[in-house]
Structure 1
Amino acid sequence: MLHYECYKAGEDRMLDTEFSGKLVMRNKNLGLEEYRFLLQTIVNAGIGEQTYGPKNVIEGREASATLQDAYSEVDGIVFDTLDKLFASTGISPSEIGILVVNVSLFSPAPSLTSRVVNRYKMKEDIKAFNLSGMGCSASLVAIDLVKHLFRTYRNSLAVVVSTESIGPNWYCGKERSMMLSNCLFRSGGCSMLLTNNRALKHRAIFKLNHLVRTHIGASDEAYGCCIQVEDSLGYPGFLLTRNLTKAAAKAFAMNLRVLVPKILPLWALLRYVLVSRPRRNKAKTAKLESVGAGLNLKAGVEHFCIHPGGKAVIDGVGKSLGLTDYDLEPAKMALHRFGNTSAGGLWYVLGYMEAKKRLKKGDRILMISFGGGFKCNNCVWEVMKDLEDANVWKDSIHNYPPNSTANPFLEKYSWVNDDYLSFVRLD
C-alpha cells in the first residue's frame, strides 16, 4: 500500500446530542418504549457528538430520499478521497490499472466504477470491479481481489474505494432490531492505492503479509442475522438479530484456525495447543469473548485494528484475544469520533494509530472485520517505515483519548425513563 485517504464531512453534517434528539423525535411511528430503547442504545453505543450524517437526513428528508441523494452522498465521499489520494501521491488516474469500488447498499447503472472512470478519464483497458452487498468487511474483500489480480497483472497500480450509502437506507419504522443501524452507522469512507511494482517499494507504507476470508452463509441462522428487509409496516431497513454475536464467534474461530499458524511462532502454537485442549469440547457453544482463549497473538503482531462496528463488538474481540485498553483504544476512539462507517471503518482505526505515532518500521498489524453474509475477513499488514501522518485525525487527535466517552444524550433526554410517563402517549 502506497497511501490511503479517509473522508471527513463538514461541520454542517455533524450529529451532536441536540440534533440526534430532534432526529429521533421526528419519527412519528415511535412510542415511549421505543424512545426509551433508543436512549439506552445511543448512550451505550460508544459514539460521540462529532460523527457525520448524510445530507438528506440532516435536512429532514430521511423518509423521502431520492436517487440524487444517493449519488450526492457517494460522490462526495468517493471523489473527495480520490482527489486527495492522487494529489498526495502524484500518481495520475491514467496510470491506474485496477479499480475496485465497494458500496453495499447502492448499486446503480452504470456502475460506480464506471462513474469513477468517467470522472477521472481513466484508460480504456482498466480492470474495473463493482462490489455490492458485501457489508462492513467489504474492504478486505476488495483488497483480496486486488491481491489475486496482482498475480496476473505485473507492475500494476490498483485503487480500492470503500464506503457505504447511508442516506437512502435510513430506517423510519419502529422495530427495535432495525433501529440499531440508525444509532451506529455514519457517513465515511476511504480510498487506497496499492501496487505490486517493486520499483515503488521504497514508497510503500504497508505490505500485505496474510489475508484470510471466512464465509459461513451456508448456515441459515448466520445468513439471516444481519440482513436488509422490510418491517411489518413496509419500512425497509437493516435487521440485526441476537444471533449476530453467535455468528461472529463461529466465523471468527474458523478464521483464526487458518490465520494463526501463519503469524505465530512455533513455541506460541505449541503453548496454545496445550492450553486449549480442555476447551475443545466446548468449542461449538463458544461465545465471541472466548474464541481466542489461550491464544497469545502478541507473539506474532504488535497492533490490533478492529472494525469499529460497535462497543459490544470491540469489547467482545478484546476479551476473546486478551487485549488491553491500549490495544482497543484505536477502535473505540474511531467509533467515538466517526461512528460505524461500514467498510471504511478499519482505515479510521489505522489512521488513529498513525496519528498517535504508534506504527514503527517492522511492526505488524492484525485487521479484524465482520460483515453480513455472514463473513469474517482478517489480514496482517507489515509497516514499511515509521509513520506519523495525522491524516483525517489532524483536527481532533489532540483531544483523544478523552477523559470520558460518556454520551451527554442521557443527561439531556433522561426524562423518558421517568416511571410516571408510562401511561402517557407521546404525540
Structure 2
Amino acid sequence: MADTVTPASSDSYLLRNFVLSLINPKRLKLGYHYLISHALHFILLLLLAASAASLTRLTSAEVLQIRDALRLHLVPVVACSLAAAFLAALYLMKQPRPVYLLDFACFKPAAELKCSREFFVEHSMSTGIFTADNLAFQKRILERSGLGQSTYFPEAMHKKAPKPCMAEAREEAEMVMFGAVDELLEKTGVNAKDIDILIVNCSLFNPTPSLSAMIIDHYKLRANIQSFNLGGMGCSACLISIDLAKQLLQVPVHEFTHSVSRYNFHVLCFRLLEQVHRNANALLVITENITLNWYFGNDRSMLVPNCLFRVGCAAVMLTNRRSARRRAKYQLIHTVRTHKGADDRSYGCASQEEDGEGKIGVSLSKDLMSVAGEALKTNISTLGPLVLPLSEQLLFFLTLASRRVFRWRSVQPYIPDFKLAFEHFCVHAGGRAVLDEVEKRLGLAEAQMEASRMTLYRFGNTSSSTPWYELAYTEAKGRMRKGDRTWQIAFGSGFKCNSAVWHSLRTVDPKEEKKNPWADEIHAFPVQVPTVETIH
C-alpha cells in the first residue's frame, strides 16, 4: 500500500525544496555578486538617510545660526568654493574625449565567388601541385575546421589554372575595400571630404602606392588627411587600428601636464589645439588579401592557412564629436594590447617564410594554441580589473592570497566570470581550435560563442575583420540592447592578443539594418556544426 502524504508532510517537503533552492551554488553566487556590487549604493543610501534625518531635526534658530556663521566667514567659503570649481574644471579638462562608433559595414562578396568544401578540394586537385597525401590532409583539415559551404574565394583563385599576380591582388583589394567603404558612407551619411584620419590594416599585402593611398585616390580625400597603413600585424591588427584611432582622437593628457609647466597659458592653448584632432572622423578599413598569399607547396605547416582564410573586409567610422553621441551605435570604453614577442617561442609560432622549394607561405607552429592561451591569460589579467565587478575581483584576490601568502595549494586558482562583465563576446574566428581554447579558458557557454562559430561557418577566417562580422551577427539577431557591453578579442602573429570593450548607446533594430551581411539569411542561423568526434 502506497504511503499517503499528509498536508503537514507536504508543507515540510515544499519548505525543504525552497530552502535547498536558496542554497543552490548558482543562486548563492548571484546573491553574493548582487550584494557586493551594490554595497556602495547601500552605504550611500544610509548616509543620505542619516543626513536627511539630521537636517529635519534642525530648529529655525539653528538654521539662522548656520546662516550667520557663513556670513562671518564669507571669504573662506568663497575661496573654498572657487578652489572646488577650479579642481572640478581641471579634472574635466584632463578627461580624454569620448570615442564613438557611428557605424560599421562588412563586405559580402558576390554569390559566384562562393567556395564550398568540394570546390576547394577539386580546385586544389586541378592545380596538379599537391601530393595525394597533402590533398587528403587538406580535406581532413577543411572538414574539421568549422567552415561551411558558403565561404568566399577571390576571383583569381576561381580560375582553373590560378596564377595570381599583383594586378589581380589589387583587384581583390579594391573590390573588398571600396565595397565596404561605400556601404559605410551610405549608412553614416558622412561625406568623404569630412574624413580626418584614415587607418588601413592588411597584414600580408603591402603594395606601393599603399592601400591607404589607393583609398585616398579613389574617394579624393583631403590633402591634409592623417593616413596610416599597418602591415604584418596579423589577425589582431583590427584592434590595433582601433587603439591607434583612440589615441589620435583623445586628448593626450601627458602632453597637457608637461605643457602646464613649460609654457604660458596662450602657448598651452595653441599646443592643445595643435595636438588634438578635435571633432574629427576616423575611417578604419580592416582587410586581408588572399590572392597573393595562397600557398602552392607541400609543407604541411603552411597548408593549414589555405583551408582557413577567406575573403572579407570591414569598414568602421569612429568620431570624437560629442554631438555624435545621439546617433552613434557604440562608445569605446577600453583597449588592452598584449605583445609576447620577447619570447622566441611566441615570436615564431606564426610566420611568413619560404619552404624548401622557395615557395612563400604562412607557417603555423604546433605551439600556437598554448601560446595563444598564455597571451590571453596575460591580456585578461590586465583587462579584468577594468571591467569585472567588485565581487569577482574580491574572489580572485582571496584565492590568490590563499595560494601565494598562506601557501594553501589545495585552493584552486579562481577564473573570473567574464559573463558578469559582458553581454556579448566577439572572439576572433581563427579556427575551431582557437574558439575551443578561448571557450575553455574563459568558461563561456555555447550562447556566448555562437556569433564566433557562426561567423567561422558562414564566412571563414577573414583575418582581422572577423570580430566585425560577429558583431553584425549579434545585431542581425536583434540581441544588441542599449547599455549592453561587448568584448572583442583578437589574436595575431608576433604573438599578440588584443581586446576592445564597447558600450551600446542604443538598441539596434535588425529591421533597420538593411546593409547587414547577415540580413537576408539570419533566419537560418544558428546551424549545427559537426563536432570533430562526429566527422569520419
Task: Give TM-score scaled by structure 1 length.
Answer: 0.90
Could you tell me the percent identity over the aligned residues?
A: 40
Q: 2:203 aligns with which of 94, 104, 108?
A: 104
Tell me if the contact between 1:164 and 1:342 (Cα under 8 Å) persists in the aligned partners.
yes
Measure how far apart 1:276 and its partner are: 5.2
Matching residue of 2:112: 12
2:323 to 194, 199, 203: 199
Is 1:263 equivalent to 2:387 in the alignment? yes
Deviations 1:386-413 (A, max 9, x none): 01335110122111012x3239xx99xx
Gaps of 5+ in 1: 282-291, 415-427
Q: Match of 1:384? A: 505
Q: Which residue of 1 aligns with 2:347?
A: 223
Superposition map of 1:23-422 within 5 A: 23-62=123-162, 64-151=163-250, 152-275=276-399, 294-389=415-510, 390=513, 391-402=516-527, 404-406=528-530
Looking at CA atoms only, which structure, 1 or 2, has the larger radius of gyration?
A: 2
Whole-angstrom distance in 2 between the partners of 1:186 and 1:376: 21
Which piece of structure 1 moves more, 312-321 or 382-391? 382-391
* Deviation of 1:294 (Å): 1.7
Higher relative contact order (CA 8 A, sep 6+): 1
Kept in 2: contact 1:275–1:294 (CA 8 A): no
Partner of 2:14: none
Give 3-state SS (helix, strand or coil) of 2:335's partner.
strand
Q: Distance in 2 between the 1:295 and 1:323 partners?
A: 11
What is the CA–CA distance in structure 1 between the aligned matches of 2:486 and 2:161, rounded to whole Å? 41
1:290-316 residue CA offsets vs partner (Å, 9 max, x unmatched): xx9621112211111101110111111
Aligned to 1:2: 102
CA distance in 2, matches of 1:317, 1:405: 18
What is the aligned-residue RMSD (CA, Å)? 2.0
Alignment-mate amino acid for residue 363 of structure 1: D
Which consecutive residues of structure 2, in runs of 5 or more, have no partner in the other structure? 1-100, 251-275, 406-412
Shift, 1:26, TM fit: 2.5
CA distance in structure 2 between the partners assigned to 1:279 and 1:86 by the alignment: 54
Deviation at 1:278, TM superposition (A): 7.0
> What secondary structure is seen at the aligned counterpart in 1 of 2:152?
coil
Deviation of the 1:28 alpha carbon: 2.7
Distance 1:178 1:385, change over 3 A: same
Contact residue 227 and residue 372 of structure 1 kept, 8 A: yes
CA distance in 2, matches of 1:102, 1:377: 15
Letter in 2 for 1:314: L
**Whole-Å Cα distance in 2 between the matches of residues 324 and 85 of structure 1?**
32
User: Aligned pair count?
Assistant: 400
Summarize the Cα distance change of 1:366–1:53 in structure 2 as closer, same or farther, 3 Å threshold: same
Q: Distance in 2 between matches of 1:212 and 1:306?
A: 14
Deviations 1:2-47 (A, max 9, x none): 0100011111110013311212212434333222221211111000
**1:347 is aligned with what amino acid?**
W
The 10-residue stretch of structure 1 (14-23 or 43-52) with the greater mean CA deviation from structure 2: 14-23
Q: In the alignment, residue 518 of structure 2 is paired with which amino acid?
A: W
1:60 deviates by 3.2
Letter in 2 for 1:42: L
- Using the TM superposition, name which of 292-301 and 197-206 deviates more: 292-301
Return the offset for 1:189: 0.8
Over 3 Å counting, the alpha-carbon distance change for 1:115 and 1:29 in structure 2 is: closer
The 1:277–1:183 alpha-carbon spacing in structure 2 relative to 1, beyond 3 Å, is farther
Q: What displacement does 1:280 show?
A: 7.4
SS at match of 1:353: helix
Instruction: Assess if the C-alpha contact under 8 Å between 1:190 and 1:344 holds in 2.
Output: yes
Q: Is the 8 A contact 2:127 2:160 kept in 1?
A: no
Q: Normalised by the size of structure 2, how large is the TM-score? A: 0.72
Q: CA deviation at 1:106?
A: 1.1
Counterparts of 1:278 and 1:22 in 2: how far apart (Å)?
58
Q: Please state whether the residue corresponding to 1:2 is helix, strand or coil.
A: strand
Q: Cα offset for 1:88?
A: 1.5
Query: CA–CA distance in 2 between the matches of 1:175 and 1:31?
Result: 10
C-alpha deviations, 1:233-275, integer Å up to 9, x for none?
1111110111111221221111111111000122110112334
CA contact (8 A) 1:330 1:352 kept: yes
Q: Distance in 1 between matches of 2:127 and 2:359?
A: 12
One-letter code aligned to 1:131: L
C-alpha distance in structure 2 between counterparts of 1:369 and 1:124, whole Å: 33
Identify if the C-alpha distance between structure 1 residues 216 and 23 changes in structure 2 by more than 3 Å, giving closer, same or farther.
Answer: same
* Partner Cα separation in structure 1 for residue 396 and residue 480 of structure 2: 27
* Higher helix residue share: 2
SS in 2 for 1:262: helix
Match for 1:401: what amino acid? P
